[in-house]
Amino acid sequence: MSTRADMAMHVLPGIPLIEAGDDLAAILHAALGRLPVTLADGDVLVLAQKIVSKAEGRLVRLADVTPSARAVALGAETDKDPRLVQLILDESTEILRQRPGMLLVRHRRGFVGAHAGIDQSNIDHADGEGALLLPVDPDASAMALHAALLELSGKRIAVIIADSMNRAWRLGTIGGAIGCAGLQVLDDLRGSSDMYGRELKVTLINRADSLAAGACLLMGESVERTPAVLIQGLPWRPTAQTARDIIRPLAEDMFR
């Protein structure tokens, strides 16, 4: 009797702390080789945004940031460091909501989140207080890693760059996809029928976010130690979709 699961998630072992300039694809490829599995086309690698950002040198020292008058005012209103507010403003196109301790913005890549994804945890502040920005273009980062892993392994490993996300109405973060390459991000069932021949109404399934949510649970908060999860077992339907395709068009946004 096979004990093969329909979906199996493996934490990649032995990934070192990532620093700016590290060859992330080579590090991931080596870690994949330590897993007791055989890689296959269509396997999905979910990566914590944090290691991609660090490898890309997106750590900023707050001492190097000069806040604008707007950032100073907004910092006073929200009880946040004006230099951090300046970084948030630089990384976003729109402020959706603000209150003390919280700035909900639309990131310049389109997705909505607290503080434009800028994070101050699990960062070495020995060199002065720092803040880690999201990758410049997470979809491009995912595509570059996807291509490099194909080169190294000969397999088409889909890549999801994931980040913890807050949501409206529900407490607690779950992982979501901010960069994707080599997988079906959205599964559009429009026009297909249910088992009684009725047309399906809920027709768009977000596969990338579903996988990111499950995988990020395995990373936990020690995400620096376990920042990568391999997912095996799902049917493979490669597309040219990216995380950009997840963004709800502004015209359909009822919560702007």
Question: In whole angstroms, how close is the CB of 217 to a copy of itself at the nearest point?
Answer: 4
Question: In whole angstroms, how close is the CB of 147 to a copy of itself at the nearest point?
Answer: 25
d(CA 231, CA 45): 6
**DSSP bridge partners of 76:** none
The token pair that represents 215 in the structure block: 């995988």
Site string for a copy of itself, 212-241 (x = CB under 8 A): -xxxxxx-xxx-xx---x--x-x-------
Site string for a copy of itself, 149-188 (x = CB under 8 A): ---------------x--xxxxxxxxxx--------xxx-
Question: In whole angstroms, how close is the CB of 90 to a copy of itself at the nearest point?
Answer: 20
Closest CA to 125 of 174, 71, 64, 62: 62
Total binding residues toward a copy of itself, as defined by CB under 8 A: 75
The identity of residue 57, as a single letter, is: G
Which of residues 56 and 224 has its CB atom nearest to a copy of itself in the complex? 224
Question: In whole angstroms, how close is the CB of 30 to a copy of itself at the nearest point?
Answer: 17
d(CA 139, CA 127): 30
For residue 81, state whether it binds a copy of itself (rule: CB under 8 A). Answer: no
Of 206, 236, 238, 239, the residue at the interface with a copy of itself (CB under 8 A) is 206
CA distances from 97 to 78, 92, 102, 240, 248 (A): 11, 13, 8, 33, 18
Residues 6 or more apart whose Cβ sits within 8 Å of residue 242? 139, 142, 143, 179, 180, 181, 185
For residue 10, state whether it binds a copy of itself (rule: CB under 8 A). Answer: yes
Q: Which of residues 94-123 bind a copy of itself (CB under 8 A)?
A: 97, 99, 104, 111-112, 119-123
d(CA 234, CA 7): 6
Question: In whole angstroms, how close is the CB of 160 to a copy of itself at the nearest point?
Answer: 13
163: left (phi over 0), alpha (psi -120 to 50) or beta: beta
Which of residues 41 and 199 has its CB atom nearest to a copy of itself in the complex? 199
Q: Which of residues 19-38 bind a copy of itself (CB under 8 A)?
A: 36-37
Which of residues 68 and 93 has its CB atom nearest to a copy of itself in the complex? 93
Closest CA to 13 of 29, 32, 26: 32
